A and B are shown apart, each in its own frame.
Chain A
Amino acid sequence: MIISLLIGLGVALGGFTFQTALGGVNRKIVARLQKRVGPRWYQEFIDIFKLLSKRSVSHGWIFDFGVIMALGGIIGTAMFMPVTSNILAFPSFDNFFIFVYLLAVGMLGMAMSASGSGNPLASIGVMRALTTMVAYEIPFMIVVLTIIKLAGTSSVSGIAEFQQMAGNNWFMIALPLGFVVAVLSLMGMLGKKPFETYIAPAEIASGPMVEYGGKQLGMLFIMHEITVFIEVSLFVHLFLGGAENIWMFAIKYFLVYAGLNLVSNVNGRFKIDQVVVFFYKWPLAMAVVQAIIAIYLGWVI
Chain B
Amino acid sequence: MNSTRFTERNKEEIDRKWWEIGDYFRRNSLWMLMYCTGCCAIELPPAMTSVYDMERLGMGPMATPRQADVLLVTGYLSLKTLRRLIYTYEQMSEPKYVVGFGSCTINGGIYHDSHAVINRLDQYIPVDVYVAGCMPNTESVMNGFVDLMDLMKSKKADGWKRYHTNYEWYRENQIAALGEVKVHDEFHE
- Which residues from 2 to 41 on chain B have a C-beta closer than 8 Å to any C-beta of chain A? 3-4, 11, 15, 18, 21-22, 25-26, 28-29, 31
Most buried by A among B28, B29, B49, B94: B29
Main secondary structure of the interface of A (DSSP, over half): loop
Tell whether A46 pairs with B58 under 8 Å between CB atoms, given A205-B64, A214-B93.
Answer: yes
CB contact between B56 and one of A39, A56, A58, A212 (< 8 Å): that residue: A39
Closest CB-CB distance, A45 to chain B, in whole Å? 9
CB contact between A35 and one of B11, B28, B50, B56 (< 8 Å): that residue: B50
Main secondary structure of the interface of B (DSSP, over half): loop
- Which residues from 84 to 100 on chain B have a C-beta closer than 8 Å to any C-beta of chain A? 92-95
Q: For residue A164, which residues in chain B have a CB less than 8 angstroms away from its CB?
A: none
Give 17 pairs: A residue, B residue, CB < 8 Å, sorted on A.
Answer: A31-B56, A34-B49, A36-B50, A37-B55, A39-B55, A39-B58, A46-B29, A47-B29, A50-B69, A54-B94, A55-B94, A55-B95, A57-B3, A57-B4, A205-B64, A206-B67, A213-B65
- Ordered nearest first, which 10 A-B pairs have the shortest CB separation? A213-B66, A53-B22, A50-B25, A213-B93, A206-B63, A201-B63, A57-B3, A36-B53, A214-B93, A35-B50
Q: For residue A39, which residues in chain B have a CB less than 8 angstroms away from its CB?
A: 55-56, 58
CB contact between B50 and one of A34, A43, A217 (< 8 Å): that residue: A34
A36 contacts B63, CB within 8 Å?
Answer: no
A43 and chain B: residue at smallest CB distance: B58
CA distance A31 to B49 in the complex (A): 9
- Which residues from 29 to 82 on chain A have a C-beta closer than 8 Å to any C-beta of chain B? 31, 34-40, 43, 46-47, 49-50, 53-58
Most buried by B among A39, A56, A211, A212: A39
Chain B residues with a Cβ under 8 A of chain A? 3-4, 11, 15, 18, 21-22, 25-26, 28-29, 31, 49-50, 53, 55-56, 58, 61-69, 92-95
B27 and chain A: residue at smallest CB distance: A50
Say yes or no for A22: interface residue by CB 8 A criterion: no
A50 contacts B53, CB within 8 Å?
Answer: no
CA distance A206 to B66 in the complex (A): 11
Q: For residue B29, which residues in chain A have a CB less than 8 angstroms away from its CB?
A: 43, 46-47, 50
A213 contacts B67, CB within 8 Å?
Answer: yes
B56 contacts A37, CB within 8 Å?
Answer: yes
A54 and chain B: residue at smallest CB distance: B93
Closest CB-CB distance, B164 to chain A, in whole Å? 12
Tell whether A38 pairs with B25 under 8 Å between CB atoms, given A213-B93, A217-B67.
Answer: no
A212 contacts B26, CB within 8 Å?
Answer: no
- Which residues from 174 to 231 on chain A have a C-beta closer than 8 Å to any C-beta of chain B? 201-202, 205-206, 209-214, 217
Tell whether A210 pairs with B66 under 8 Å between CB atoms, given A34-B50, A50-B25, A50-B29.
Answer: yes
CA distance A253 to B162 in the complex (A): 48
CA distance A241 to B55 in the complex (A): 37
CA distance A57 to B64 in the complex (A): 14
Q: For residue A214, which residues in chain B have a CB less than 8 angstroms away from its CB?
A: 66, 93
CB contact between A36 and one of B4, B15, B56 (< 8 Å): that residue: B56
Most buried by A among B18, B58, B67: B67
A40 contacts B63, CB within 8 Å?
Answer: no
A205 and chain B: residue at smallest CB distance: B63
Q: For residue B56, which residues in chain A have a CB less than 8 angstroms away from its CB?
A: 31, 36-40
Q: For residue A47, which residues in chain B have a CB less than 8 angstroms away from its CB?
A: 29, 31, 58
B53 contacts A38, CB within 8 Å?
Answer: yes
B52 and chain A: residue at smallest CB distance: A36
Closest CB-CB distance, B84 to chain A, in whole Å? 15
A213 contacts B53, CB within 8 Å?
Answer: no
